[in-house]
Structure 1
Amino acid sequence: MVKFRFALALLALLQFALPPANAQERLTVVLAGDTGLNGGGAPVDARGGWKGGRLVTGAEALAGIAPWLEGDVVFANLESVVTNRNEIAARDKMFVFRMHPQGVREFAEAGINVFSLANNHALDYGTRGAGETLSHVAAVPGLRAWPGLGRTRDEATRPHVFEMRGVKVAVSAVGNAGGGLPAGEGRAGMLQERADFPDVAARLREEDAELRILSVHYGREFDPLTDAADVARFRHAAAGAGATIVAGHHAHVAKGVEISGAHLVAYGLGNFLHLGTQNMARFDICRDFGLLLRVGYVRGDEGLAVETVEALPLTGMHLRVAPMGGEAARLRLEVLNYLGSRLDGDGVQGLRFRPQSDGSGLWCASDATDARCAGWVEPEVSARQAEIVAACGKVVTRGSF
């Protein structure tokens, strides 16, 4: 009798502890833009990065955004050389960035576990600096992938593959201003985005993975409107070449987000946290915020499907990144909705985000079972649409404001 009662109690405990047989498996992917913890040309320091003559720690700079970095796959573009040496010579450029490996460890401790290393600052300290980046980033606990640099073309195009909660993930990266391949011992180089985008996308497609992420550093700075040619090749990389997510960055401003089936394209994530960037608050409503996305996947009979996308407008990306709240956040979501509306067509849906009480915006698939999606409807066109259209259509350069 005692054994029988014990068996009944164990069965009841298992029924309580295990999810129902039809429960959907969920996976959260967080996407953030350009990232670095030091000012332009500043010396590296294990204590933090320099901004305007002041030392800023990673914990201080990230404190306001930490809760939003909770996810299974958390991506950012690391736009900096990573080194603990100050004697490596910089290239002759207007802006050069380097940061201490401790800063990368602080980013990882905050939740980021995937970095793209392919961008126009990867070679700021030559192929030797890029080699330093590779060796230091590979040694950071908690990081699962860091594609984009390599000693050979094969290594630079190779997707980084890992498993997360039973899902095989592959990540590739390509950026502008590449070179230096093949590289000598202790050095590394990078492919060039305009020439090598097709090869990187094709190799990612060949990888046997359920979630494929392609990071692309590209385009004109300060332009929230995506060029038609870039739209065409990003869509081919997604629906055509099998990338589950295409994550774009470099322009310093947010761009529209679109979905086609299980494929999501974020054309521009803007700045996330980079001490080497300017305060974007000086620009207009189409350019003064960064963008963090949280993509909620569910696994069904046909594999992963996007159920929700959260969009969080960011402020303070040059010093202490934080969510933009209140009416300011609502207006920037309306900017994103306008940019998304420009992407509709050809089986593609530009995403519109409904404002939430925490300053984020939410998009829900029509069959979403997430409790937050109960009663979700697409938001109406902004009452300030004419102002948004005019602002986003302006030609803006670094010295425009």
Structure 2
Amino acid sequence: MTQDAPAERAQGTEAAEADTFTVFLCGDVMTGRGIDQILPNPSDPVLYEAAVKDARGYVALAEHMNGPIPRPVGFSYVWGDALEAWSRRAPAVRLVNLETAITTSDEPYFKGINYRMHPANLPCLTAAGIDCCALANNHVLDWGSAGLLDTVAALRSAGVVTAGAGRDLDEAAAPAIVEVRGKGRVLIFSMGSETAGAPRGWGASAERPGIFWLDERSPAEVRRVLDTVRAARREGDVVVASIHWGPNWGYEIPEEQIALAHALVDVAGVDVVHGHSSHHPKAIEVHAGRLILHGCGDFLNDYEGIRGYEAYRDDLTLMYFVTLRAGTGELAGLELVPLQMRRFRLHRAARADALWLRDVLDREGARFGTRVALGEDGGLLLRWG
């Protein structure tokens, strides 16, 4: 596939070449709750939260903030300007962390927040051309094992491959495999950490459905993950480790997460560490020529109008277009497209907002030697080395 070259190239890279391809990554995608309610086939809106008992309440909060949202919207509505960005860059692989069960199960796991999208709203994901959903997170079991199995089955029936969850540990730990024509295989592992709120009991076992669970603070868990990834990788594969780790808010990155990311690259042969869970973008690192995203920030959610964390600007989000060298997985370039959520729809961010994100990423990336430059079209370009 082809992609347009960014207006400005990152340091240490050249113009797009025949031996490169682009992978799209982003943070958490939450198509449940308020988002589900504006789609053509909403689920039962009953919630089991302390403050909000009806999912339509989140729609009302968003409308109070930015104005009326039409209902029902078309399946592509929520993606807004992201659709043009995808079309222009034509990534070979589109990977998201899906933090929503796709199910009609009415048996919630009582944990405070339960995300659910009706299976008839699945075209919302296919409208975005998603190739793979990482599922090892703290919401895929919000509606129990039945909800998890429904989610996997629904996605696979739509031609979307999954990683990180399954009927048993073997299935949950197995990578999703995406073949890129003329470039080789992309292996995608998905892991969910206790540090991001995934309970230990959600971990899959030989007899129990669940997620590929880990605790990066445990040397034994880290060894298990490294061995699993290394055993699946073949010469010439490009490997992505998609990890749900760390708290929702704050820019601090624990040393255990840095150590795990480095070990995945150095020991297991991972080419991209795709970190998520934070509701705002965190630092970007390049280690041994491999990209480490410590936290991508949310991509799509129903938080519009919720107060309390305005300083983090969680209304702003990023599209990560990662250009890799086929056969080696070496980072050739990273372009970031800033967006803003308004009326449950992604809009191209204003220049001032793009500059704010640039400054945050510069500040947080300084410890890792990365910088971000503003491109001619308002996009952001990573520089390193």
Displacement, 1:244?
0.6
Distance 1:287 1:81, change over 3 A: closer
Q: Which residue of 1 aligns with 2:372?
A: 353
Q: Percent identity?
A: 25
Contact 1:306/1:365 (8 A) holds in 2: no
**Match of residue 384 from structure 1:** none
Deviation of residue 257 (structure 1)? 0.9
Q: Does 2:267 match 1:240?
A: yes
RMSD: 2.9
Residue of structure 1 equivalent to 2:4:
none
Query: 1:75 is matched with which residue: 92, 95, 100?
Result: 95
One-letter code aligned to 2:59: G
- Cα pair 1:38 1:97 within 8 Å, conserved: yes
- Please give the residue correspondences for 1:216-365 in structure 2 after superposition, counting only pairs within 5 Å: 216-275=243-302, 283-285=310-312, 287-299=314-326, 303-316=328-341, 319-344=344-369, 351-363=370-382
Show the 5 A alignment for 1:141-152. Answer: 141=159, 143=160, 145-152=161-168
Which residue does the alignment assign to 1:28? 22
- State the distance in 1 between where 2:134 and 2:305 align: 21
| Counterpart residue number, 2:179 | 163
Contact 2:114 2:142 (C-alpha < 8 Å) held by counterparts: yes
CA shift, 1:100, in A, is 2.2
Out of 94, 105, 120, which is 2:123 matched to?
105
Correspondence for 2:150 among 129, 132, 136: 132
Q: CA deviation at 1:153?
A: 1.2
The match for 2:83 is 66
Q: Tell me if the contact between 1:325 and 1:358 (Cα under 8 Å) persists in the aligned partners.
A: no
The alpha-carbon distance between structure 1 residues 38 and 319, as it changes in their structure 2 partners (threshold 3 A), is: same
Return the alpha-carbon distance in structure 1 between the equivalents of residues 383 and 206 of structure 2: 46
Q: 1:26 to 1:37 in 2, by over 3 A?
A: same
Q: Deviations over 1:264-314 (max 9, x none)?
A: 100001110123676589511565532221111234xx7343221112233
Equivalent residues in 2 for 1:180-195, closer than 5 Å: 180=202, 181-182=204-205, 188-194=209-215
Residue 115 of structure 1 aligns to a residue in which SS? strand
SS at match of 2:22: strand
Q: Distance in 2 between matches of 1:313 and 1:272?
A: 10
Letter matched to residue 66 of structure 1: L
Q: Which amino acid aligns with 1:162?
A: V
Q: Aligned pair in 2 of structure 1 residues 48, 211: CA closer, same or farther (>3 Å)? A: farther
Structure 1 residues 123 and 278, CA gap change in structure 2 (3 angstroms): farther
Letter in 2 for 1:99: M
8 A contact 1:355–1:362 mirrored in 2 = yes
Q: Alpha carbons of 1:276 and 1:116: their partners in 2 closer, same or farther (altered >3 Å)?
A: farther
Pair 1:58–1:33, CA change in 2 (3 A) = farther
Q: Cα–Cα, structure 1 residues 271 and 277, in superposed 2: closer, same or farther, change >3 Å?
A: farther
Say if 2:282 and 2:294, in contact at 8 Å, map to a contact too: yes
What is the CA distance between 1:139 and its match in structure 2?
0.6
* Preserved CA contact (<8 Å) 1:127 1:188: yes
- The Cα offsets for residues 309-354 of structure 1, whole Å up to 9 and x where unpaired, read as 112233217811223221221121111011111223xxxxxx2121
Distance in 1 (CA, whole Å) between partners of 2:147 and 2:188 is: 22
Q: Are residues 1:114 and 2:132 paired? A: yes
Alpha-carbon separation, structure 2, partners of 1:291 and 1:41: 19
Q: Kindly provide the CA deviation profile for residues 112-140 of structure 1, in whole angstroms up to 9, marking residues without a partner as x.
A: 21110110001101111111111111111
CA contact (8 A) 2:35 2:344 kept: no
Structure 2 unaligned residues grouped into runs of 5+:
1-16, 44-55, 61-70
SS in 1 for 2:179: strand
| Count of residue correspondences | 331
Structure 1 residues 285 and 95, CA gap change in structure 2 (3 angstroms): closer
Structure-1 separation of matches of 2:282 and 2:181: 30
Q: Deviation digits for residues 195-225 of structure 1, max 9, x if unmatched?
A: 6454234312222152101111110121122
Which one is further off, 304-313 or 173-182?
Answer: 173-182
Secondary structure in 2 aligned to 1:28?
A: strand
For the pair shown, which has the larger CA radius of gyration, 1 or 2? 1
Does the 8 Å contact 1:202/1:241 carry over to 2? Answer: yes
**Deviation readout 1:150-202 (Å, 9 max, x if unpaired):** 11111111112231123211111111314353487xx8312333164542343
Whole-angstrom distance in 2 between the partners of 1:321 and 1:25: 32
User: Following the alignment from structure 1 to structure 2, what is the Cα–Cα distance between the partners of residues 41 and 62?
Assistant: 11
Return the alpha-carbon distance in structure 2 between the equivalents of residues 108 and 220 of structure 1.
29
Question: In 2 relative to 1, CA 277–94 (structure 1 residues): closer, same or farther, beyond 3 Å?
Answer: farther
Alpha-carbon spacing, 1:40–1:140, altered in 2? closer, same or farther (3 Å): same
Q: Which amino acid aligns with 2:380?
A: G
Tell me: higher relative CO, structure 1 or 2? Use CA pairs within 8 A at least 6 residues apart. Answer: 2
Q: Distance in 2 between matches of 1:78 and 1:317?
A: 20
* Secondary structure of 1:271 counterpart: coil
